[in-house]
């Protein structure tokens, strides 16, 4: 039983020490802080600007589904739909998504594309070098084979095959 606890704890420690988990934790913390900033911008700037076209800030907009929508003795009478809250949340989401996309995702995609192009260029150069090295080695092999063939014919003059080297030329004259 103690061995299982050690293996579970060891596995959990390995899980936590992986880079992905730490990166994810940092992203969540930064995302939470960034969400507070965006919410402040929406509540402090965008809602009042939108409210300038109406009579109140964006979160105060509501419609009454069932009349009368009023507070009587601390209790709401009627059914009120607070669409201003939903619109404010949608604006917060759109702003957050736009900032994340334009400031984080798009630059990272460009960096990754550039890195992939560099890797592809390196692979292309290595492939060209490998091909040229292979061609050089083939030429060396062919040259060595060509040099070896005449010397083989010259070393066996009694084989019935006339040599093409200088020794074969002297024997035929």
Kindly state the percentage of the chain with pLDDT values over 70: 77
Comparing CA positions, the residue from 91, 97, 96, 34 lying closest to residue 57 is 91
| pLDDT score for 19 | 67
The mean pLDDT of the chain is 76
Higher pLDDT, 54 or 70: 70
**The CATH number fitting domain 2-117, selected from 1.10.10.1100, 2.170.120.12, 1.10.1200.120, 3.30.70.141:** 1.10.1200.120
| pLDDT score for 163 | 47
Per-residue pLDDT reduced to its tens digit, 68-99: 777 778 777 778 888 888 888 888 888 888 88
So where are the chain's domains? Answer: 2-117
Higher pLDDT, 78 or 115: 115
Q: Which pTM does this prediction carry?
A: 0.48
Tokens (6 digits) for 61: 């907009």
Looking at the DSSP assignment, which residues form a beta bridge with residue 147? none
pLDDT greater than 50 at residue 164: no
Element (H, E) at 65: strand 63-72
- Over residues 25-34, mean pLDDT: 85
pLDDT-based confidence at residue 113 (cuts at 50, 70, 90): very high
| pLDDT score for 55 | 65
In angstroms, the CA 126 to CA 138 distance is 18
| pLDDT score for 110 | 92
- The answer to whether 50 and 38 are in contact (CB under 8 A) is no
Tokens (6 digits) for 135: 């061609």
């Amino acid at each position: 039983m103690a061995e299982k606890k050690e293996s579970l704890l060891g596995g959990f420690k390995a899980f936590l020490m992986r880079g992905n988990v730490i990166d994810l934790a940092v992203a969540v913390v930064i995302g939470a802080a960034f969400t507070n900033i965006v919410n402040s911008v929406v509540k402090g700037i965008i809602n009042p600007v939108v409210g300038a076209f109406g009579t109140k800030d964006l979160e105060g907009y509501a419609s009454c589904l069932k009349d009368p929508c009023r507070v009587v003795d601390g209790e709401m009478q009627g059914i009120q739909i607070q669409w201003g809250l939903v619109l404010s949340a949608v604006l917060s989401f759109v702003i957050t998504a736009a900032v994340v996309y334009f400031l984080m995702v798009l630059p990272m995609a460009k960096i990754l594309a550039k890195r992939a192009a560099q890797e592809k260029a390196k692979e292309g150069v290595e492939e060209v070098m490998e091909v040229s090295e292979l061609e050089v080695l083939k030429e060396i092999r062919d040259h060595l084979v060509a040099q070896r063939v005449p010397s083989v014919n010259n070393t066996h003059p009694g084989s019935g095959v006339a040599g093409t080297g200088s020794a074969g030329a002297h024997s035929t004259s």
